[in-house]
Amino acid sequence: MAPPLMAAGVGIGTMVLLHFRDPHVEGSYGLCPVYVLTGVYCPGCGGMRAMHNLTDGRVLDSLHSNVMVLPLVLAFAVFVVYWAIRAFRGQQWRLPRFSAVTVWSFVGLLAVYTVLRNTPWGTWLTPV
């Protein structure tokens, strides 16, 4: 049970840190190297602000900071719970299996999201 509990602890610890240390304060966690070097918002830009907003219960603000964070946090939680259940039952741990179509669809979604949030049509996707 130790590995899934450690993963859950890391996730919870990250949420606690982001709740109490506000990433909206400029420079509180440093600067995004992709944005500093290129001036382009990467798919992760606004992710810490989105997590901070989630821990404050502001779901819409979280989605506005980075729309990808909420689904990824939910997927991580489901993965850790599934992992813990298997460990509790004494079953062997295994990675989830994704088809090539699923993986490439996700990569394509990230690419479209990145391009869209850096165009005039996607200003509503830029982090706040």
What's the pLDDT tens digit per position in 69-81?
899 999 889 988 8
Q: Which domain holds residue 102?
A: 2-125
What's the pLDDT tens digit per position in 61-114?
888 889 998 999 998 899 888 888 888 888 887 777 889 999 999 999 999 999
Task: Please count the structural domains in the chain.
Answer: 1
pTM for the full model? 0.79
At a CB cut-off of 8 Å and minimum separation 6, what does 103 contact?
Answer: none
Spatial distance between the Cα atoms of 100 and 90, rounded to a whole number of angstroms: 30
What's the pLDDT tens digit per position in 5-37?
888 888 889 888 888 888 888 777 878 888 889
The CA distances from residue 90 to 7, 72, 83, 85, 93, in Å, are 18, 27, 11, 9, 9
Question: How is the chain classified by DSSP, letter by letter?
Answer: -HHHHHHHHHHHHHHHHHHHS-TTSTTSS---HHHHHHS---TTTTHHHHHHHHHTT-HHHHHHH-TTHHHHHHHHHHHHHHHHHHHHTTPPP-PPP--HHHHHHHHHHHHHHHHHHTSGGGGGGS--
